[in-house]
Amino acid sequence: MNIISPRKIRYKLLIYWKKLGPGLITGSSDDDPSGIATYSQAGAAYGLTTLWTALITFPLMAAIQEMCARIGIVTSEGLTGTLKKHYPRPILYLMLLFSFPAIVLNIGADIAGMGAVGNLLFPTIDATFFSVVFTIILLVAIIYLPYQKLAAALKYLCIVLLVYVIVPFLYHQDLLEILKATFVPTIHFDITFISILVGILGTTISPYLFFWQTTMEVEKMKQKKYQLMVNHNIIREMKKDVDFGMLFSNLVMFFIILTTGTVLFKGGIHQIDTVEQAAQALKPLAGRAAYLLFAVGVIGTGFLAIPVLSGSLSYIFCQTFGWKEGLDKTFYEARPFYSILAISLILGLSLNYIGITPIQALIYSAILYGLSAPVLIAMILHISNNKKIMGEFTNNRLSNILGFSALALMTVAALVLIYLTIFKP
């Protein structure tokens, strides 16, 4: 009987870790403070009832993000650049019109969430101070760190999300109840529950991730200098990275719902609007350790997600107007790129001072994401099935089944979101 030594296991894990990149970062950045707030709302309001959504969103997320990554690898262009080549300009400008406010609102909600949680950890220091300090740290890191160091930092920040896998085990769990909620879908046909489902979909399948994934694959190809040697091995390696990243993202979502569903819901706390409320509510019910881990996780995910959000917006603008772009370039080589990035962070920070609350920013960004996601998914499907663009690397049958399922689901979600926005009492 062959026994694999611990040293060999560590070596294999290290090799696997080195192969992970844009897929892991993209998936992890999806669990930002705004996403944590949405999942916490679901758990607090309905217990474990929404756990099954993680099984639905994982394959759909993985399919769409894999298409985006493949488009980037094959075309050596970001999604915006590809859309610019093959679609009418008005569609591109419409995407820009929706993306800019949505991403800025998302950044604002994340910065406010990080600041509020910083205030929870250090009550004598105002939340606004933390928000400003975090914004400055992010700006300096993004502008001055070389691409490889920034990518490595983002990759290691993904580890922070493991705190949400630990937190549920600091509280008694009913395994049978968890299994039932995971594999037996439950739907309540009321406006609040449907709103929660739409919110989960909008948070997990977000348009800014499409742009980031595509562009990061291009950046990775440039770094490795094999963009002219695309083959099926490269595509397979990319798929493993994307699948792992989306699986990790959905596991974190699952455990956040599990934590708030068992601790807060069963503790009689059913209304959670912000991440700091979720962290605060955990303290008396699950103990100080759970509270601290949850709070630290929020700050860590903010540092991970905000560069992705602001970077996505910069790439969208620069590829639309043909400006110099790239995290691999210095500030002086790509001033428009870094200027847009800085402006997005400053605008996000300023939301606190113009009367838009984090929960309002979250709602508005969800509406804009919900409206633009179906259109973008339809275009991604069209591009990834176009042999003139993709050559031999077009979608297979499974990719199309999952892609069109995502399109149908996000279209229904968008229609429901419009209805709820207009008619919800």
Tens-digit pLDDT profile for residues 260-301: 888 888 888 888 877 888 888 887 777 777 778 888 888 888
pLDDT digits (tens, 9 = 90+) for 199-209: 888 888 888 89
pLDDT digits (tens, 9 = 90+) for 330-372: 888 889 999 999 999 999 999 878 877 777 787 778 778 878 8
pLDDT value for 4: 62
More confident residue, 8 or 31: 31
Q: DSSP label at 210? A: H
Say if 13 falls within a structural domain.
no
pLDDT-derived band at 225 (thresholds 50, 70, 90) equals: low
For the chain, what is the domain count? 1
Share of the chain above pLDDT 70, in %: 94
pLDDT digits (tens, 9 = 90+) for 134-175: 999 999 988 888 767 777 777 777 777 788 888 887 777 788
Question: Under DSSP, is residue 189 helix (H, G, I), strand (E, B) or coil?
Answer: coil
Say if 21 falls within a structural domain.
no
Contact 304, 25 (CB under 8 A): yes
Q: How far apart are CA 24 and CA 416, in angstroms?
A: 31
pLDDT value for 2: 54
227 pLDDT above the threshold of 60: no
Say if 15 falls within a structural domain.
no
Contact 304, 35 (CB under 8 A): no
Domain of residue 325, residue span? 29-423
Say if 18 falls within a structural domain.
no
Q: DSSP label at 168? A: G
pLDDT-derived band at 250 (thresholds 50, 70, 90) equals: very high
Say if 80 falls within a structural domain.
yes
pLDDT-derived band at 228 (thresholds 50, 70, 90) equals: low
> Residues 239, 242, 246, 249: is their CA dihedral positive or negative?
positive
Say if 5 falls within a structural domain.
no
Q: How many CB atoms lie within 10 A of CB 16?
A: 12
List the CATH number of the domain containing 317: 1.20.1740
Q: How far apart are CA 280 and CA 413, in angstroms?
A: 31
pLDDT value for 1: 47
More confident residue, 422 or 178: 178
Q: Where are the alpha helices (DSSP H) in 385-424?
A: 387-390, 397-423
pLDDT digits (tens, 9 = 90+) for 297-323: 888 888 888 988 999 999 999 998 889
Going by C-alpha positions, the residue among 389, 405, 331 that lies closest to residue 397 is 405
Q: How far apart are CA 160 and CA 168, in angstroms?
A: 15
Say if 8 falls within a structural domain.
no
Residues 181-192, mean pLDDT to the nearest whole number: 86
Contact 279, 298 (CB under 8 A): yes
pLDDT value for 424: 63
Q: Is 234 left (phi over 0), alpha (psi -120 to 50) or beta?
A: alpha
pTM, whole model, 2 decimals? 0.89
Say if 3 falls within a structural domain.
no
Q: What is the mean pLDDT of the chain?
A: 85
Q: What share of the chain is helix, strand, coil (3-state, %, to 5)?
A: 80, 0, 20
Question: Under DSSP, is residue 331 helix (H, G, I), strand (E, B) or coil?
Answer: coil
Q: How many CB atoms lie within 10 A of CB 124?
A: 5
Q: Which residues of 83-115 are buried (b: 16+ CB within 10 A; e: fewer)?
A: bbeeeeeeebeebeebbbebbbbbbbbbbbbbb
Q: How far apart are CA 72 and CA 193, in angstroms?
A: 37
pLDDT-derived band at 76 (thresholds 50, 70, 90) equals: confident
